[in-house]
């Protein structure tokens, strides 16, 4: 189904464990086969405290070659903090395994709608480099951090001056990021993802629009409220 599968990223293997071990993402020292199901990974996982995410269970399913794990919501709850890897007494890395599983799921069109939020990031990087944050990120930060963060954004220059910092430096990437994304096939992959999301929407599998604008019904806050991602390409990043 997937037109852009990288054989080094998701090699064709008989078992989930073999795929995880042979992926280019995975270090040779990873102790997947040495897992003793002690639960240290889940005990140290921040996501496990607030969701049903369990690194231990995911590793168990992989070792049992239970492919139902590819359709599990659990694999989308990890945010790559690597606490599980740090705490594992056998040097296993559930976070790395999750990365491989996510890619395998996406290759099969499973959970691909979860990528909708991230689609504009590549476009924003291509246009602005890393000097701006995509609009959706700005809205989330406004929602999560509130008025204090908005105040910092609006008074950035005086704050930097008070701290003895120079003016913000926004560098022109001269199209270098755009060239990198084009040469690595990012935009072609993005088109594939958008098409698959649209297919799911058409067939009624998705209730949300392709452009997942989470803030449509949110209260606007002056210059930091946006009608759509396309009307606003990003605010300057908070750099020091």
Q: Tell me the pLDDT tens digit for each residue of 206-223.
A: 554 444 443 343 333 333
Which structure tokens are listed for 19? 């795929």
Which has the closest alpha carbon to 222: 123, 164, 138?
Answer: 138
CB 145 within 8 A of CB 224: no
User: Tokens 């003895």 map to which residue?
Assistant: 164
- Residue pair 152/159 in contact (Cβ under 8 Å)? The answer is yes
Predicted confidence (pLDDT) at residue 73 exceeds the cutoff of 70: yes
Distance CA 200, CA 9 (A): 25
Is residue 142 predicted with pLDDT exceeding 80? no
In this predicted structure, what is the pLDDT of residue 5? 62
Task: Please name the residues in contact with 106: beta carbons below 8 A apart, sequence gap of 6 or more.
Answer: 2, 112, 115, 193
Q: List, as one string, the DSSP characters of 148-164.
A: HHHHHHHTHHHHHHHTT
pLDDT > 90: what percent of the chain?
Answer: 38
Domains and CATH numbers, the chain: 16-110 (1.10.1060.10), 115-234 (no CATH)
Percentages helix, strand, coil for the chain, rounded to the nearest 5? 55, 0, 45
d(Cα 106, Cα 29) in Å, to the nearest integer?
26
């Amino acid at each position: 189904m997937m037109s852009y599968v990288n054989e080094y990223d998701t090699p064709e293997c008989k078992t989930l464990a073999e795929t995880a071990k042979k992926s280019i993402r995975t270090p040779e020292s990873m102790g997947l086969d040495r897992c003793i199901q002690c639960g240290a990974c889940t005990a140290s996982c921040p996501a496990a405290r607030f969701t049903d995410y369990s690194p231990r269970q995911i590793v168990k399913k992989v070792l049992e070659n239970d492919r139902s794990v590819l359709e599990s919501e659990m694999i989308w709850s990890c945010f790559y903090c690597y606490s599980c890897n740090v705490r594992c007494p056998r040097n296993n890395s559930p976070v790395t395994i999750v990365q491989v599983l996510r890619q395998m799921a996406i290759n099969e069109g499973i959970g691909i709608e979860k990528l909708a939020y991230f689609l504009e990031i590549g476009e924003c990087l291509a246009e602005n480099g890393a000097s701006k944050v995509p609009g959706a990120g700005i809205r989330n930060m406004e929602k999560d951090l509130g008025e204090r963060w908005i105040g910092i954004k609006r008074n950035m220059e005086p704050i930097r001056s008070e701290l003895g910092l120079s003016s913000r430096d926004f560098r022109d990437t001269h199209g270098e990021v755009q060239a990198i994304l084009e040469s690595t096939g990012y935009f072609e992959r993005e088109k594939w993802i958008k098409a698959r999301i649209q297919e799911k929407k058409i067939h009624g599998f998705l209730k949300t629009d392709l452009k997942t604008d989470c803030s449509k019904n949110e209260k606007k806050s002056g210059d930091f409220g946006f009608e759509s991602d396309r009307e606003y390409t990003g605010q300057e990043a908070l750099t020091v």
